[in-house]
Amino acid sequence: MTTKNIHEAALAEVKEISKTQAEFIVKPLYYGYGNTLGNSLRRVLLSSVKGAAITAFSVDGSSHEFTTIPGIREDVVDIMLNLKTIRFKVHTDAPVELSLEMKGDKQSEKNGDKRVVAGDIKLPAEVEIANPHQVICHIDDPKKTLKMRFIVESGRGYLTIDESSENRVHSDMIAIDAVFTPVLRVRYKVENTRVGQDTNLQQLTLMVETDGTLTPREAFEEAAAILVNQYIALAGSTTVESTPAPGSNKEEDDSGLMLPIEELDLSARTANALLNNDIKTIRDLVMLSENDLKDLKGFGTKALDEVKEKLMELNI
């Protein structure tokens, strides 16, 4: 069974604010679809993107979490809370065992307790830590040697301490509830927009912040893929043919793209730079990525900004 005349939106722009923050702009959308897409993407981003976390640990000299450790400032509960904030990137689906060994020193007597951080954990090639400066504990006895072991697992969402305890790789370890999701925050807003004469349309802006173990774009694309897989399973044999986005006309769009580059009314320097690189029509221009444009001979940052501004004015 095939149903026609369902329009597709597009990921119109990605604004990278930092390595861990980005804005995704999706438009144009039929009225009501902004909240539909925004809410579903937000829920999946916060609950279902794959990550890694410590699920169990052990400290020499402690058999359970309700104890103190001689020579260590923090008790086991405090150490557990610190361990939950360490962000891992694991390149394997199997549980990984890590270890840490740190000795106090005389320097700590003069300058204060010796700080033990996530970067002190010995890591195999398949494991990375995104926040190596995260504090685990402090050694306040220069003669104390701290020895710890950790189990790091990959997963999605949240693993309760009861589930972690039942599935412990080593029974002598202390189970810990784990937050796997690498996405820290997701916000979205829906605004009205227009394409040509069609004003009953929406724009979705989705703001994503991650913990640094993956980029916001990787998280966004994984969440979208998860939703696609879920809906494909529900759709069965029914398929939907997509048509041009709302407010657009394919024939008009195609003819518009075939206009010469001079029709963009660019400065003489920018237009000449494009023509010298054999970019003669608007179609030739929009087929190039931003990086492609930066690589053009005689095409600088000012020219790039001018082209981007002009294309935005024309909703291209």
Cα–Cα distance measured from residue 291 to residue 287, given in angstroms and rounded to the nearest whole number:
12
Whether residue 232 lies inside any domain: the answer is no
Whether residue 236 lies inside any domain: the answer is no
Cα–Cα distance measured from residue 38 to residue 54, given in angstroms and rounded to the nearest whole number:
31
**What is the total count of domains within the chain?**
2
Hey, is 44 helix, strand or coil? helix
Global pTM?
A: 0.69
Q: What is the pLDDT of residues 219-266, one digit of tens each?
A: 999 999 999 999 888 888 777 766 555 555 544 445 556 678 777 778
Asked which of 179, 196, 224 is the last residue of a domain, the reply is 179
Note whether 57 and 156 are same-domain residues.
Answer: yes
Q: What is the pLDDT of residues 208-221, one digit of tens each?
A: 999 999 999 999 99
Residue 159: domain span: 50-179
Six-digit token string for 219: 């998280």
For residue 143, give the CATH number of its domain: 2.170.120.12
**Residue where the block lists tokens 């189970």:** 175
**Residue where the block lists tokens 């709302």:** 246
For residue 302, give the CATH number of its domain: 1.10.150.20
Asked which of 179, 202, 234 is the last residue of a domain, the reply is 179
Q: How confident is the model at residue 2 (pLDDT cuts 50, 70, 90)?
A: very low
Q: What is the pLDDT of residues 152-169, one digit of tens each?
A: 999 998 888 777 666 656
Q: Which amino acid is at 158?
A: Y
Share of the chain above pLDDT 70, in %: 85
Q: What is the pLDDT of residues 48-79, one digit of tens each?
A: 999 999 999 999 877 777 788 888 899 999 99
Whether residue 152 lies inside any domain: the answer is yes
Asked which of 150, 179, 208 is the last residue of a domain, the reply is 179
For 167, phi then psi, to 5°, come to: -105, 20
Whether residue 303 lies inside any domain: the answer is yes
Whether residue 101 lies inside any domain: the answer is yes
